Structure 1
Amino acid sequence: MKKSKIVEGAYEARDFFKDLGGKKRHLYFVAAPIYDEKGEIVAAIETLQDVSKEKEMEVSLTEHAETLRNELEENISLRERIEDLSNYLQSILDSSPDRVFNVSSNGIINYMNKDLENGDGFISHHVKGKHYMEVVAPEIMDITLAKWEDVKRGIYTPYEVQVNSRDGSKRTLLMTPCPVKGTDSYLYVQRDITEFKNLERKFYESQKLAAVGQLAAGIAHEIRNPLSSIKMSLQILEKRMRPSGNDSKRFKIAQREIDHLEKLVNDILIFAKPSEPQKEPSNIKRILEHALAMVEKSVSDKEIHVRTRFEENIPPIEVDPAMLEQSFINVYLNAIDAMEAKGELCISAKLIDDGVKSVLVEVEDDGCGIDEEDMPHLFNPFFTRKKYGAGLGLTQVKKNIDLHQGVLKILSKKGKGTTVMVTLPIEQKRVNGESSHL
């Protein structure tokens, strides 16, 4: 029993009876004193109320509240798990090297897993909520539209597009569409396969070069022995006949042409069976100077002015000095052939650091330059514009530089001269050679 909160001075109590009148009952008692004029208790009044229904309702509400609380806790826990799963899936998408788009059936881009960059095939960095036709780059508009029509017809064939980067280079993107189950939208996965395509191209080029090399080597072997016999016979005939005048000149011309053919055969055999570089710590300045000494007569004949500029702090690099020397001889001879008399040849070497410490060698001439349409073919075997030569010089130079994990670039403009740039890493790292024009 406790003091009543309803009646002042009264007391109240609640009790439960398992069997009262044949029923379970909850009763509520209130007892209040009656006072006389002197303020003394002379009697009491007591009320009894059956509150079974109210108690049942209270229990029911308590149970319902407990149920709601449990459901709320379960919903909160479920929401947390859903958020964790969503964050986990988003983390997977963010970590993917591929870009993922969700496009509705009416062409609206609903989702993209990472920000766009220049060269991703779009003209805007903000594409969510926009129709793809508003933001696709012009150079891939036609193929994108055609493939979108295929997708709407249920044809989900991966396709490649080439897009322009900010630096002017081309990038190849593989686009893979597929439907999203249970919706009327589509998923596009965009993968940059530029490096893969470059490797693929290099692989096929190497296969082609290997086949050409084997064929050329076979022909060269067949030519070498008869050529040696012709040369020997010509020398014997010259000694016996002792020709003079025009006949002597003809013998000299024939011998010179045989020497040229022998060099051509040797070049083909070297190209067909390249040797692995025998690397050792070498002084790049000494290699460049030795190569220059080997072309001294050609320089002198044309009165070429040679300027050299070598940094003094270049450390020794692990290279095959003989292989590199032959490569630079070829580069020098090409430069000399391209120049008129009294031209200028500039040779420099310096340290650079573009993430990899390297030595940059530049050979610059002020000769006739190279036609723009010839630039993509400079490293192709047997490609040449010279009257004499096998067209293997630059091919062999590039192969040698690649064997040293270097980069060979050629910058040229018709009538303005040519610059050959050779980068040789001090820290070994695989890189690719390429050519470009100014």
Structure 2
Amino acid sequence: MSSIPLLPALIVEFFGSAAAILLSFYAVRYSLALVRLQPNNFIWGFLFYFCSTMAAFALSRGVGHIVRITLVYTDHNDLWKQLSPFSGGFNTLLIVSVAAVTIYYHKGLAAYKAIRSEARKLAEANTKLAASAKQLQTLNTHLEEIVEERTRNLSESEKKFRNFFENSKDIVYFCDKNGQITNINSSGKLLLGFENNPNVINFHELFNDKEALQSYLDGLAEKGFVSDLEMECTGRNGTTRHILLTANALYDKDRSLIGCEGIGKDMTRIKNMTEQLINHEKMASVGQMAAGVAHEINTPLGIILGYTQLMMDDFDENSETHSSLQIMERQIQACRRIVADLLKFSRQTESTKAAIDLNDIVLNVLSVTEHSLNIQNITVNRQLAPDLPRVTGDAEKLQQVMINLFNNAQQAMESGGEIVIFTAAEKNLVRLTVQDSGTGIDSTIKNKIFDPFFTTKDVGKGTGLGLSVTYGIIKEHNGRIEVESPVLDRGSQRELQGSAFHIWLPVTPETAESQKEQD
């Protein structure tokens, strides 16, 4: 029986086993590189373990074949028969290991896929969460911008309100439901006399007229507001003012009244101007009537006085009849003086006007009257402006005005005091002020002091025509006269005791034109 040569088969077997071993180890090396590149990749891990098992199997099988070929070729078949079971068993174990690794990684792959799926879902959720977070951040940024803008607008609104509250020349106040003032601006404190008194009183106590107070309370309770309510109030400093009130009720969330807010406009000056206008019209009517009465009475008085003086010549000077006629003469002369004052008041006498300096008028009158004022412990404080513009006027009549004002001040300071005389230029006017530190003028009679025959003096001490004549002379000079009592100190804003008469006279046309050109 012929045999096939074993050498070529052995050579192929040897080199094939060696090639399998080399290729398997190369696969292990390549899979290890993949694992190192991506350590968390489940597939690369499986591939590495699979290649390692196959490399071990290739090594075991290849070595076994090489040993078998070597032993057979060297006639050691008996030794191979002894080693063959061990080689086959070891190979079987490696094949089982391959199967085990495959089964293990198959199960692991399912878990890996589940984990990847969950990871993918988690990644998607994270993506959505990131998008939501970004959107939330955008909304948050937008909300912050809105809040910042609202805060800025609120701050500007509060600033505007605060500026209005602090700088308003009207009274701005807030009260609780009982009328207690919770907040009031500086002008309100000044007008109501609270600037130096921290204890603010109840607003309701300021009303002098209880009917006006009731209208105020009824309006807030029934309508929720009060509009243009006139009230007269007396502040802490004793000053009486006329206020035009507008107020709104304040409610809580249950629509229960919790207080009010209001604005009060000081109408005192307008009220006084209205009263002065009415008084001016009344004075004009009285002046016309006084002129007629003076002319009608003056002639009979002259006749009566003439006959009285003739009759006095017919009786002895020591007789009772002569004494009675003397009394008649004195009383008739007094009547004639009253008639003369009436004529001055009615401005019916002729007037000689020229450009004059009011400072000269003041100084001329003081040269005559200051001595008698000093005897009564009255000092004169001159505050005369230098280079005072000239006015057009009758010097004699303006001197009469000064005498009347000095007499009025002197009678108001029986125990002594101070008279302040002030002159100043104001645009196209010259202002003259005569201020005393006397008892002042009661507010109830302030609008009557320029009325003819009105006097607060005892009987026989005055005719009540001094200020009326003064008023008439000033009106004749196209000026105006006002009385202030008590007197407001322009510097400290305090009210001083006494009275002040303010006179404004227009400057001469030449001076007015010169000032206009300079402007």
- TM-score, L = length of structure 2: 0.50
The alpha carbon displacement at 1:278 in A equals 5.5
2:275 aligns to what SS in structure 1?
Answer: helix
Map of 2:79 onto structure 1: none
Instruction: Determine the C-alpha separation between the residues in 2 that align with 1:312 and 1:104.
Output: 48
Question: What's 1:24 paired with?
Answer: none
Partner Cα separation in structure 1 for residue 125 and residue 435 of structure 2: 101
1:185-234 Cα distance to aligned partner (Å, 9 max, x none): 53332333333333333333333323322332232233334445556x63
Change in CA separation of 1:280 and 1:106 when aligned onto 2, cut-off 3 Å: closer
- For 1:162, what is the secondary structure of its paired residue? strand
Structure 1 counterpart of 2:152: 80
Partner in structure 2 of residue 187 of structure 1: 261
Post-superposition offset of 1:80: 1.9
Deviation at 1:392? Answer: 0.3
Deviations 1:20-58 (A, max 9, x none): xxxxxxxxx99989999xxxxxxxx99976444543443
How far 1:152 sits from its partner (Å)?
Answer: 1.9
Aligned-pair CA distance for 1:163: 1.8
SS of the aligned residue for 1:117 comes to: helix
Q: Does 1:152 align with 2:225?
A: no
Q: Does 1:207 align with 2:284?
A: no
Match for residue 271 of structure 1? Answer: 345
* In structure 1, C-alpha distance between the alignment counterparts of 2:282 and 2:156, rounded to whole Å: 53
Rounded Cα–Cα distance in structure 1 between residues aligned with 2:236 and 2:500: 23
Q: Out of 237, 241, 254, which is 1:171 matched to? A: 241
The one of 272, 278, 281 equivalent to 2:357 is 281
Alignment of 1:94-113 (within 5 A): 94-103=166-175, 112=184
Q: Which runs of 5+ in 2 are unaligned?
A: 1-34, 49-108, 487-497, 508-519
Distance 1:224 1:97 in 2: 54
- In 1, the alpha carbon distance for the partners of 2:416 and 2:136 equals 95
Alpha-carbon distance, 1:64 to partner: 3.6
Decide which of 289, 295, 316 is 1:245's aligned counterpart. Answer: 316
- Which amino acid in structure 2 is aligned with residue 193 of structure 1? M
- Pick the structure with more helix per residue: 2
* Count of equivalent residues: 367
Partner Cα distance (1:120, 1:67) in 2? 52
Task: Judge conservation of contact 1:163–1:171 (CA < 8 Å) in 2.
Answer: yes
Shift of 1:363: 9.1
Which deviates the most, 251-260 or 52-61?
Answer: 251-260
Return closer, same or farther for 1:165/1:309 CA change in 2, 3 Å cut-off.
Answer: closer
The residue that corresponds to 1:397 in the other structure is: 470
Q: Give distance in 1, aligned partners of 2:480 and 2:36.
A: 101
Distance 2:506 2:36 in 1: 96
> Whole-Å Cα distance in 2 between the matches of residues 101 and 364 of structure 1?
34
1:434 corresponds in structure 2 to none
CA contact (8 A) 1:277 1:323 kept: no
Partner of 1:26: none
- Specify whether residues 78 and 204 from structure 1 end up closer, same or farther in structure 2 by C-alpha distance, changes over 3 A only: same
Q: CA deviation at 1:160?
A: 1.1
CA distance in 2 between counterparts of 1:424 and 1:273 reads 18
1:117 matched to 2:194: no
Q: Using the alignment, how far apart are the partners of 2:46 and 2:450 within structure 1?
A: 121
Question: Are residue 381 (structure 1) and residue 467 (structure 2) matched?
Answer: no
Deviation at 1:382? 0.3
In the TM superposition, 1:420-435 aligns within 5 A as none
CA deviation map 1:230-289 (0-9, x unaligned):
56x639x939x9634267666666555444333322311221238898652242464215
> Residue 282 of structure 2: SS of its match in structure 1?
helix
Q: Which moved more, 1:182-191 or 1:67-76?
A: 182-191
Structure 2 CA distance for partners of 1:152 and 1:333, relative to 1, 3 Å: closer
CA separation of 1:248 and 1:374: change in aligned 2, threshold 3 A: farther
CA distance in 1, matches of 2:323, 2:173: 76
How many Å separate the matches in 2 of 1:307 and 1:352?
20
Specify the SS of the correspondent of 2:290.
helix
- What TM-score, normalized by structure 1, do the two folds share? 0.57
Q: What percent of counterpart residues are identical? A: 20
Contact 1:314 1:359 in 2 (8 A): no
Maintained 8 Å contact 2:365/2:402: yes
> Over residues 346-398 of structure 1, what are the superposed CA-to-partner deviations in whole Å (9 max), with x where a residue is unaligned?
99776699x9x988768999xxx999999866554203434386420133236
Structure 1: give runs of 5+ residues left out of the alignment. 1-6, 13-28, 37-44, 128-133, 412-418, 429-438
1: distance between equivalents of 2:188 and 2:499? 36
Output the amino acid matched with 2:287. Answer: G
Which amino acid is 2:469 matched to? Q
RMSD of aligned alpha carbons: 6.0
| 226 and 155 in structure 1: CA distance in 2 versus 1, 3 angstrom threshold | farther
State the alpha-carbon separation in 2 of the partners of residues 170 and 344 from structure 1.
27
